[in-house]
Amino acid sequence: MGCALCRRRRSARVCDGQLSLSTWTQQMAADERPGGHLNWQKAQSSRSPVQDFVINPLLQPPSGETWVSSPSVLEIDGYVHLWVSISAGIVHFVSTNGLSDWRVVELTVDSPGASGPCVCWAEEGSVVYLFYEQADRTGSFHSVKVKCISARLPSAAFSAGDWLWSSEAEVLEPELEWEKVQIARVGHPFVIYSSFRDQWLLFYSASVSRRDSKNLGAGPLYVGVAAAGEVQGPYRRVLEKKPMMGTADGSPQVVGAGSFKMIKGFDDLKFDDEAGIGRRLLGLWNRITRGHNGVIGSSIALMASVDGFSWSVIDADFLAPTLQPGSWKKAHVHAFDTMIPSFDPDHVFIYYDARDDYKSSKECVGVSRVPITFLDSIASTTATRVGA
């Protein structure tokens, strides 16, 4: 599936959506709010030292639509590139500071039902890989697979004609019984190189948990993991009998596993299991929960692991809905990605999408940040929760 396969200019794929994307760019320019670009405030709903960007959300849906979701972020030569999902497919943005002045580059994947992008940069060979989930196009969306395209990193990466993407290749399809509950689905891919295993790992969501009628949509039931010797695969499942994460009783009850990603900069295991010392892996898990009042919600939990497959919850409400009227993230906090930006190397930035209500809502993309010193303190101890 290498990037030499049947390359096509994505500028051709932008044509159908060019007018709407152009209008979206103009809409964002009109919405730019002066001042406050460097201001952050304590996240109201987190016990951890998470800070919210004061002029969130960064991206709102295109005119006439209600959602933009599933950000994946990559910094290239000081520019921040962001891929997000909309109804038409997966859109590529670029910004000089990762916070404002976002400009549409292209509609990278021009396919309704394509979502959940995950971008990997294989620096050896300067190849960018874009993994994503693709629902079938019958309108019923009864099957979802993981696919991938790739492109050599262009010398100028800021316009559609610069990116010469390969044809799509299928990476993973639903096979196991726990991947085919209600809907045969594998999606929300997260691909990362594991130095301690000397393999590429693909974490993915599986199956679907339908929400109550008073809530929106449906979420994944499980999280699984597959491995490969090369980033493009072939991937073989590491866990087959049962998933890595799933539902669980408790308060709140976990009714869906959502999606999982390791935190950039905390994805290299250096831990002596016998001595119980070293540096643990850290990750984020978007959990779907049911509270004591029966309302379905979702938030992002901070996780830690000493092997990459067994994870402990450190802070269940690391990034959670505010539950406040008028908040852009009142009701649900969903898919996310992380990076340590060169312009703020003391923090991990977390880009994520959220909804402003439970019904008739709008889904936007925003950013929060957390000090690296705090994450270091969690990774370097055996603490089982924040404050332990």
Q: Which residue has the tokens 């450190």?
A: 314
Residue 267 has pLDDT above 80, yes or no: yes
Mean pLDDT of the chain: 85
The two three-digit tokens of residue 239, written as one number: 């866990």
Q: How far is CA 307 from CA 197, 272, 279, 282, in A?
A: 10, 10, 11, 11
Residue 18 has pLDDT above 60, yes or no: no
In 3D, which of 76, 166, 172 has the Cα closest to residue 116?
Answer: 172
Note the pLDDT tens digit of each residue in 44-101. Answer: 777 889 999 999 999 999 988 999 999 999 998 889 999 999 999 999 999 999 999 8
pLDDT-derived band at 276 (thresholds 50, 70, 90) equals low
Residue by residue, DSSP assigns 248-287 as B-SSSEEEEEEEEEEPTTS-S-EEETTTTEEE-EEEEEEE
Residue 3 has pLDDT above 50, yes or no: no
Residue 43 has pLDDT above 60, yes or no: yes
Alpha-carbon span 226 to 234, nearest angstrom: 9
Q: 21: part of which helix (H) or strand (E)?
A: helix 18-31
Residue 8 has pLDDT above 70, yes or no: no
C-alpha count within 13 angstroms, C-beta hemisphere, residue 203: 25
Residue 247 has pLDDT above 90, yes or no: no
In 3D, which of 8, 165, 159, 4 has the Cα closest to residue 92?
Answer: 159
Choose between 360 and 29: higher pLDDT: 360
Alpha-carbon span 59 to 301, nearest angstrom: 23
Alpha-carbon span 388 to 383, nearest angstrom: 5
Choose between 141 and 24: higher pLDDT: 24
Alpha-carbon span 162 to 151, nearest angstrom: 10
Task: Note the pTM of the prediction, 2 decimals.
Answer: 0.90
What percent of the chain stands above pLDDT 90? 62
**Is 47 in contact with 315 (CB distance < 8 Å)?**
yes
**Is 47 in contact with 301 (CB distance < 8 Å)?**
no
Q: What pLDDT shows up at residue 269?
A: 80
Alpha-carbon span 130 to 108, nearest angstrom: 9
Q: What pLDDT shows up at residue 330?
A: 93
Note the pLDDT tens digit of each residue in 123-180. Answer: 677 899 999 999 986 655 568 999 999 999 887 666 667 899 999 999 999 999 999 9
Residue 161: CB atoms within 10 A of its CB come to: 14
Burial tier of 32 (Cβ tally within 10 Å: 0-12, 13-18, 19+): exposed
Choose between 306 and 294: higher pLDDT: 306
Note the pLDDT tens digit of each residue in 326-362. Answer: 999 999 999 999 999 999 999 999 999 999 998 889 9
Mean pLDDT computed over 244-272: 87
> Three-state DSSP class for 159?
coil
* Domains by residue range for the chain, with CATH: 44-379 (2.115.10.20)
Alpha-carbon span 150 to 44, nearest angstrom: 39
Q: What pLDDT shows up at residue 205?
A: 96
Alpha-carbon span 187 to 115, nearest angstrom: 9
**Is 80 in contact with 97 (CB distance < 8 Å)?**
yes
pLDDT-derived band at 251 (thresholds 50, 70, 90) equals confident
Q: How far is CA 247 from CA 116, 178, 250, 253, 360, in A?
A: 21, 12, 10, 8, 27
Alpha-carbon span 210 to 203, nearest angstrom: 21
Alpha-carbon span 165 to 4, nearest angstrom: 9
Name the maximum alpha-carbon separation found in the chain: 60
Residue 141: CB atoms within 10 A of its CB come to: 15
In 3D, which of 335, 338, 377 has the Cα closest to residue 69?
Answer: 335
Poorest-confidence range of 217-231, 336-350, 366-380?
Answer: 217-231
Q: What pLDDT shows up at residue 4?
A: 35
> How many residues would you count in the chain?
388
Residue 217 has pLDDT above 90, yes or no: no
Q: What pLDDT shows up at residue 67?
A: 95
In DSSP terms, 164 is beta-bridged to 9
Q: Which residue has the tokens 């959940």?
A: 116
Mean pLDDT computed over 248-255: 83
Q: What pLDDT shows up at residue 12?
A: 32
In DSSP terms, 110 is beta-bridged to 89
Q: What pLDDT shows up at residue 384?
A: 64
pLDDT-derived band at 218 (thresholds 50, 70, 90) equals low
Q: What pLDDT shows up at residue 35?
A: 44
